[in-house]
Amino acid sequence: MGIFDKLKNLVSKKETEKENKEMEEVYDKGLKKTREEFVSKLSVLGIKYTKVNEEYFEELEDLLIQADIGVNTVFKFMDKLRKRVKEEHIENTETLNEVIVDELFIIYVNNESLTTKLNEQENGPTIVLMVGVNGVGKTTTIAKLAYKYKNLGKKVMLIAGDTFRAGAVEQLKIWAEKTNSLFYGRDNTDPAGVIYDGLEMAKKENVDMVFIDTAGRLQNKVNLMKELEKINKVIERIIPGAPHETLLVIDAATGQNGIMQAESFKEITKLTGIVLTKLDGTAKGGIVLAIKESVDIPVKFIGLGEKMTDLQTFDIEEYIYGLFKDMIK
């Protein structure tokens, strides 16, 4: 069964059972701009060309690039699409829409068993290192994750490792208070030292989840690499095997620049997942597919609004459904 048929079943399930209503509504609202921009143009393309031909393929290619799926990803996708059209003797564009949905899903999954769950530890705290350039919403993402895990009954702690940026420590402290999380931080001091002391406190307090903020100065990759190397060594010394997750926060609205950030951070530290923020504010939601294809790191969370509950665990089927629901009958 292809993803298109699965999504049809998902529609029926949603209509009859009304399960996961909150997630569905957040995805629906958060992907509205991309859906209206991309799917409406795809529908117009299907009216303009009832039969599949080279002109249709060229316009479809432009449309996919505009959705920020990424040029290289689009080229690979178009090759696969042409091959399936030929092999399956597809002639009309309505049938091809189903194949497009299928192939976009396949691009992301790529025959892998992907998990969006954090690598939570049964014994001792789970350490999550948060990285990303300044201005992408890293601190508020940490707050939303704290809120999420507090609501799951976890004891949460935030550590301010971005010690030299003006106001960064105080900002995280305020979020810790708002989310009823423990906090450790000191201004204008060595980040590794702060993290060391913070983790010692986390162990004494029997914390379940620790989220560590870090500096986002990508201008000098060498300095940032050395800082992250030092931080990783300190974390490993206090809690062997940690950090258990290193999540890169990217602003979805930055498009291809976000992919370059992912490539840069992948060079300087071991990433385990991506958090895409502000996906609701852009019509270029295809960046989800582009990032996975470009850096081969799964998207674990997506920000689909400003509310604390709008940070959602990424679900590829909900994402594809959110994009193409108007086409799925």
Query: Residue 327 domain-assigned?
Result: no
Residue 216's Cβ-side half-sphere holds a number of Cα atoms within 13 Å equal to 23
Cβ neighbours of residue 312 closer than 8 Å, sequence gap 6 or more: 23, 26, 27, 30, 301, 302, 304
Looking at residue 188, which CATH number applies to its domain?
3.40.50.300
% of the chain with per-residue pLDDT over 70:
92
Are residues 75 and 191 located together in one domain of the fold? no
Cβ neighbours of residue 272 closer than 8 Å, sequence gap 6 or more: 119, 245, 246, 247, 297, 300
State whether residue 43 is helix, strand or coil: helix
The string of pLDDT tens digits covering residues 107-138 is: 878 766 667 789 999 988 999 999 999 889 99
For residue 19, give its domain range: 3-114
Tell me the pLDDT of the chain averaged across its residues.
88
What the block records as the tokens of 58 is: 């060229």
- Last-in-domain residue among 53, 80, 114: 114
pLDDT computed for residue 174 by the predictor: 97
What are phi and psi for residue 111, nearest 5 degrees?
60, 20
Q: Is the pLDDT of residue 47 over 90?
A: no
pLDDT computed for residue 19 by the predictor: 47
Of 307, 312, 286, 306, residue with least CA distance to 27: 312
Contact present, 31 and 285 (Cβ < 8 Å):
yes
Q: Helices 40-48 and 54-66: crossing angle, nearest 10°? A: 170
Mean pLDDT of 281-295: 84
- Last-in-domain residue among 114, 137, 171: 114
Strands 156-160 and 311-313: unpaired
Are residues 110 and 135 located together in one domain of the fold? no
- Cβ atoms within 10 Å of 1's Cβ, excluding its own: 7
Query: Residue 158 domain-assigned?
Result: yes
| Domains of the chain: total | 2
Are residues 176 and 93 located together in one domain of the fold? no
Are residues 159 and 32 located together in one domain of the fold? no
Query: Residue 328 domain-assigned?
Result: no
- Last-in-domain residue among 114, 138, 170: 114
The string of pLDDT tens digits covering residues 171-220 is: 999 999 999 999 999 999 999 999 999 999 999 999 999 999 999 888 77
Q: pTM for the whole thing?
A: 0.89
Are residues 76 and 187 located together in one domain of the fold? no
Of 242, 234, 212, residue with least CA distance to 129: 212
Strand residues in the chain grouped as ranges (E): 126-131, 156-160, 182-185, 209-213, 245-251, 273-277, 299-303, 311-313
Query: Residue 121 domain-assigned?
Result: no
